[in-house]
Structure 1
Amino acid sequence: MQRLSQKILLLSGWKRALIAFMIGALTALALAPFHFFFIGFLTFPILVWLLDGAVGPIEAGRIARHFPAFWTGWFFGFGYFVAGLWWISNALLVEAPEFAWAIPLAVLGLPALLAIFYGAATVLARSFWSSSVARIFVLAASFGVAEWLRTFVLTGFPWNALSNTIQPSPLMMQSSAFVGADAMNVLAVACFALPAAFFTKGRERILALLCFMILLGGHLSIGVWRLNYSPEPDAEGSIVRIVQPAVDQSTKLEPGDGKVVFDALLELSSQPIVDETLARPRYIIWPETSVPFILTREPQAVAAIADMLKVGQSLIAGVVREEVDEDSDGSQRRYYNSMLLINDEGIITSAADKTHLVPFGEYLPFSEQLKQWGFKAVAAADRGYFSGAQRRSLPISTGLTAIPLICYEVIFGGEINRLEKTDGLMINVTNDAWYGHTPGPYQHFHQSQLRAVEMGMPMVRAANNGISGFIDAKGRIKAKLEYGQTGAIDAELPASLAIPFGKQFQSQIFWLLVVLFATIGIVSRTRG
């Protein structure tokens, strides 16, 4: 193995770039739906060995000296994001050929941009590099900072954070309840990369093995304890029905098909209960933009919802909400991607708007200029969406409040964690039909599981084409509808868990790890 590491260390030019790209692409196999997390124990050690040899020429300038390290990290990230995000291009085929020209931007452009974060991480790590095991902790801290930056730079896009790769199942998700998603990025890279030092001699090998056993053993032990010995959440008592109409996205966009889609939603919502042990559903949930027209413009549709709902039932529906500017003559309208609560009398009792919109999907950055050039947002028709002023909780009933998460808002763990925890649930409505039967919907569902664990709250997820389901506060799937399956499922809503010790200090835990790991690297380099 030492001979192999030496061969990898000596690679340069296109060979180094190719290997970095390949191991990045292989690392994506640790993501949903594959969950081959053990691949990280191969790919990250190779990345370490590549960085061991990523040294710029002595005569190069201060900036040029970092090029080998940057490009090593960049190609690793490029491979990881191409393999993990290629499915985004499927959304551009829904209205092809109008958006087909942008497919290369989705498949290659977005990964190329995201890979800059990983390139910056390897430059930072290489600046404090040494020949000891300490370099692995520096690498972990650097990737942790890069992933933290991905949560907010350019509006943020932390999809497929590296922490996801070491959390394939509820058993391996429980650590995040205590340290949070940001710290898990640091610990995941450290755990995956430590085997690079297994083949050195003397105390370095023993130290690496010891650190590896502590990290991986602790990670698994927390999972075993929390799933088997910690208190279980009691059932909240309310029965919830999730409706999954499985409507093809191109059908939703066809003029005249709105009534067909709406009638299908009503029919699925009215189906008799299959499980005789359950009471009648108290809440019915429809997915994101489930109603293919502006609901408030159609009083007969609102009346049909009221007729469908039994006494005491409520509907939580993902819809497009329209707001007329009172200062105009009615011609100025704003549209919001929203979640509405409708009672059995057809009255909208509360609403929550999406606050974190998808750039180029739901709105156009620099819209005035881009519209002159013929651009428009992919998923917003010609109207475009406005973001909600602030994230609001959704009061469901007395004593039950929901955190509404529309579409990819569920991937922003840091934003959700900063919200005040409610005695209720999280509701994620989404329309993953844009992405077809690809890894996208599976990755999205997996991240919903992680948020449930981190928040200690159940997650109810309604997706147009799937995957829909009930996730308890420990990330376990209680019931679900698979991708492409049409139907409705009923389940009793689990209760929230007590806030884990350390949850309110997750930001401090993250930065403590970064500082600690960076200090280890700096001290080792100074001594070396």
Structure 2
Amino acid sequence: MSAGRVFHELNPDRIRARILRLPRWPRRGLLFGLGALGALAQAPFFFFPVLAIGLTALVWSLDGARRDARPARAGFERAFTFALGYFAAGVFWIAFAFFSRGVAFAPFGPVAALAVAVLLALYWGLAGAVQARIGGRGAIRVVVFAVLVFAAEWLRGHLLAEFPWNLPAYVWAGGGAVSQSAALFGAWGLSLVTLLAFTAPATLAGPRAVPGRLAPVLAALLVFASLTAWGAQRLAGAGTETMPGVRVRLVQVTMSQREKWAEGNEALVRARYLEAMAAPGLDQVSHVIWPEGALPLYLLEDGETLDHIGRRLADGPVLVTGTPRREEGEDGRDRYYNSVAALRFPGGRPQLTHLYDKVRLVPFGEYIPLAPVFRAIGIETLSDMVDGYSRGPGPDVFNFSAGPPAAILVCYEIVYPRFAASGRARPAWIINVSNDAWFGPTAGPAQHLNIARYRAIESGLPVVRAASGGYSGAISPFGLSDQIIGPRAEGAHDITVPAPLPPTVYSRHGNGIWAGFLFVVVLVVAVCKRDAFRLIWKGNRGH
């Protein structure tokens, strides 16, 4: 094929016209497929061009929805279909959590994964419906689309689902040059900029083909070239200082969930952790960290297990470990918590110094959303010990007698920007304990690690992870790490902890910077689209 023929076939106007001519089912298949391929932009692949291509095609498809007899419905369907593919592929690891639970739960895995994908896709569907009504023509429609999808992402991270996993920002590998901008405006701000840039190519074709339609693409390239240059300069100043007096031993045991939670295996699991923890060099560490729910028992009630630990940690390092716990509520019923405890053992006797109860609970894993509905079809909580956990009172900081204070985040609490304490209570580091074994051999553990890198960059604080079945280790405030431990690396791993940075712009001002930018963008859109808003207002009043 000649170069001229290739150029003709790849002409944006020609591609857009083909998308607009597609019948309903081929169009749905294309949008679903492009959405699923878009998941390759997230960890561990970071092949972000596929998401830019998919979003561009979605904008062009929504151009056709404007001409439909029922534009809002058509816009909803197209955006929903794309997002369904994107989220079904991006968070399919949810299904593996059911597979790990056993044969009885396995059939519900795909159902739960699809249900979550449908819920998340609804937000994008609403964005598509609004886009089809007010998106308009020309370059402004692309800006409107980016803002609407950003709003959908914000809502799915804060309302109902409260699941800000795989935000658009995370297509940039944490610790890379572009990701450093999270220190300025956080993952939310980078998500907005990313959406604006990835939809810019849609201006290359459309109902108003003007000579300057290449300008948005060039502007997007300029913005990311600037972010890359600034990030590279920031990384060039990344030091290798470590926190004095802090040396951490991470204890990792490789064991399937089925084996760990099998009846009667408590002693076996305990022995494995004790053996790994007692490796040579224990007297050289200040903290020992076990992952979330390390032992399949109520540690704080188990005198035998505490005695075993006390013999090894007598007058030694502090133990920070995840553990389920229970207490009697005011109604006389037991309440259960997914907790983190800090224990010292003076003279070998256990002394509880700090206790944190998890606040952000995992749907299906720790509680059942819409419990009557799901239990009616046989879906129960994946927890092996209780039917559901209660929420803790709020974020907390552990003030250790040895070493600086640390914020505690359990499992996917780390996916929430600015969840850890800040301001006057700002800790010196973040401890994130997790049980990533539920993810299995999927992209889930890699996605979780990448998200943790962003929390380090945003806060300017190092993150120490102890993730059973996932990626453990220390992450610097720049999102970097040469101390990452893989999911299959069993044993004791002694690491140093990078020194914290001064508070970042984002940790001081939060979402104010990107919110101000978004306000300006929305104001410009409102001015440009005032006639459309006026017509909608009149139409609503007419009804």
TM above 0.5, yes or no, is yes
**Shift in alpha-carbon separation, 1:292–1:226, aligned structure 2, 3 A:** same
- Structure 1 residue 455: Cα displacement: 1.1
**Shift in alpha-carbon separation, 1:71–1:185, aligned structure 2, 3 A:** same
Q: Distance in 2 between matches of 1:420 and 1:199?
A: 51
Please tell me whether residue 188 in structure 1 is matched to residue 188 in structure 2: no
Which of 441, 466, 472 is 2:445 aligned to? 441
Instruction: Name the % identity.
Output: 31
Deviations 1:95-148 (A, max 9, x none): 333223422322322111110111112223333323322222212211111111
Which of 77, 93, 98 is 2:83 aligned to? 77
In the other structure, the counterpart of 2:535 is none
Please tell me whether residue 112 in structure 1 is matched to residue 124 in structure 2: no
- Structure 1 residue 506: Cα displacement: 3.2
Q: Distance in 2 between matches of 1:523 and 1:243?
A: 58
In the other structure, the counterpart of 1:248 is 256
My pick for the range that moved more, 231-240 or 248-257, is: 231-240
Q: TM-score, length-normalised on structure 2?
A: 0.88
Please tell me whether residue 161 in structure 1 is matched to residue 167 in structure 2: yes
- Structure 1 residue 77: Cα displacement: 0.6
Note the 1:308-323 alignment, pairs <5 A.
308-309=312-313, 311-323=315-327
What's the secondary structure of 2:394's corresponding residue?
coil
In the other structure, the counterpart of 1:431 is 435
- Structure 1 residue 462: Cα displacement: 0.5
Note the 1:96-111 alignment, pairs <5 A.
96-111=102-117
Q: Distance in 1 between matches of 2:524 and 2:134?
A: 10
CA RMSD between the two structures: 2.5
Asked if structure 1 preserves the Cα contact closer than 8 Å seen for 2:421 and 2:427, the reply is no
Deviations 1:487-525 (A, max 9, x none): 222121112111223543332223323332233334344
Note the 1:8-407 alignment, pairs <5 A.
8-57=19-68, 60=69, 64-154=70-160, 156-167=162-173, 169-198=175-204, 203-229=211-237, 232=239, 234-237=241-244, 238-273=246-281, 280-309=284-313, 311-325=315-329, 328=332, 332-345=333-346, 346-365=350-369, 367=371, 376-397=380-401, 400-407=404-411
- Structure 1 residue 432: Cα displacement: 1.2
Deviations 1:234-271 (A, max 9, x none): 31121111111122100111111111111111111121
What's the secondary structure of 2:60's corresponding residue?
helix
- Structure 1 residue 527: Cα displacement: 8.3
Letter of the 1:478 partner, please give it: D
Q: Distance in 1 between matches of 2:87 and 2:421?
A: 25
My pick for the range that moved more, 513-522 or 152-161, is: 513-522
Please tell me whether residue 460 in structure 1 is matched to residue 467 in structure 2: no
Q: Distance in 2 between matches of 1:133 and 1:418?
A: 40
Asked if structure 1 preserves the Cα contact closer than 8 Å seen for 2:100 and 2:438, the reply is yes
Q: Which has the higher contact order (CA 8 A, sep 6+)?
A: 1
- Structure 1 residue 162: Cα displacement: 1.7
Q: Distance in 1 between matches of 2:445 and 2:37?
A: 20
Asked if structure 1 preserves the Cα contact closer than 8 Å seen for 2:71 and 2:132, the reply is no
- Unaligned 5+ segments in structure 1 are none
- Structure 1 residue 373: Cα displacement: 7.5
- Structure 1 residue 447: Cα displacement: 0.7
**Shift in alpha-carbon separation, 1:244–1:125, aligned structure 2, 3 A:** same
Letter of the 1:19 partner, please give it: L
What's the secondary structure of 2:511's corresponding residue?
helix
My pick for the range that moved more, 428-437 or 202-211, is: 202-211
Q: Distance in 1 between matches of 2:417 and 2:158?
A: 11
Q: Distance in 2 between matches of 1:117 and 1:462?
A: 33
The number of aligned residues is: 515
Asked if structure 2 preserves the Cα contact closer than 8 Å seen for 1:129 and 1:521, the reply is no
Letter of the 2:119 partner, please give it: L
In the other structure, the counterpart of 2:541 is none
- Structure 1 residue 215: Cα displacement: 2.0
Q: Distance in 1 between matches of 2:409 and 2:126?
A: 31
Please tell me whether residue 479 in structure 1 is matched to residue 487 in structure 2: no
Q: TM-score, length-normalised on structure 1?
A: 0.91
Asked if structure 2 preserves the Cα contact closer than 8 Å seen for 1:92 and 1:99, the reply is yes
Deviations 1:175-194 (A, max 9, x none): 11111122222111111111
In the other structure, the counterpart of 1:500 is 504
Q: Distance in 2 between matches of 1:514 and 1:123?
A: 21
What's the secondary structure of 2:102's corresponding residue?
coil
What's the secondary structure of 1:227's corresponding residue?
helix
Q: Distance in 1 between matches of 2:525 and 2:153?
A: 19
Q: Distance in 2 between matches of 1:199 and 1:169?
A: 35
Q: Distance in 1 between matches of 2:422 and 2:84?
A: 31
Q: Distance in 2 between matches of 1:326 and 1:516?
A: 50
My pick for the range that moved more, 409-418 or 467-476, is: 409-418
What's the secondary structure of 2:295's corresponding residue?
coil
My pick for the range that moved more, 199-208 or 100-109, is: 199-208
Letter of the 1:156 partner, please give it: E
Asked if structure 2 preserves the Cα contact closer than 8 Å seen for 1:288 and 1:407, the reply is yes
Letter of the 2:304 partner, please give it: Q
Asked if structure 2 preserves the Cα contact closer than 8 Å seen for 1:233 and 1:494, the reply is yes
**Shift in alpha-carbon separation, 1:367–1:196, aligned structure 2, 3 A:** closer
Asked if structure 2 preserves the Cα contact closer than 8 Å seen for 1:233 and 1:497, the reply is no
Letter of the 2:265 partner, please give it: D
Q: Distance in 2 between matches of 1:431 and 1:285?
A: 13
**Shift in alpha-carbon separation, 1:504–1:132, aligned structure 2, 3 A:** farther
Asked if structure 2 preserves the Cα contact closer than 8 Å seen for 1:72 and 1:119, the reply is yes
Which of 422, 426, 435 is 1:422 aligned to? 426
Q: Distance in 2 between matches of 1:458 and 1:422?
A: 12
- Structure 1 residue 326: Cα displacement: 7.1
What's the secondary structure of 1:400's corresponding residue?
coil
What's the secondary structure of 1:6's corresponding residue?
helix
- Structure 1 residue 299: Cα displacement: 1.0
What's the secondary structure of 1:151's corresponding residue?
helix
Asked if structure 2 preserves the Cα contact closer than 8 Å seen for 1:141 and 1:513, the reply is no
Q: Distance in 2 between matches of 1:198 and 1:76?
A: 21
Asked if structure 1 preserves the Cα contact closer than 8 Å seen for 2:173 and 2:450, the reply is no
Letter of the 1:68 partner, please give it: A
Letter of the 2:336 partner, please give it: Y
Asked if structure 2 preserves the Cα contact closer than 8 Å seen for 1:242 and 1:489, the reply is yes
In the other structure, the counterpart of 1:3 is 14
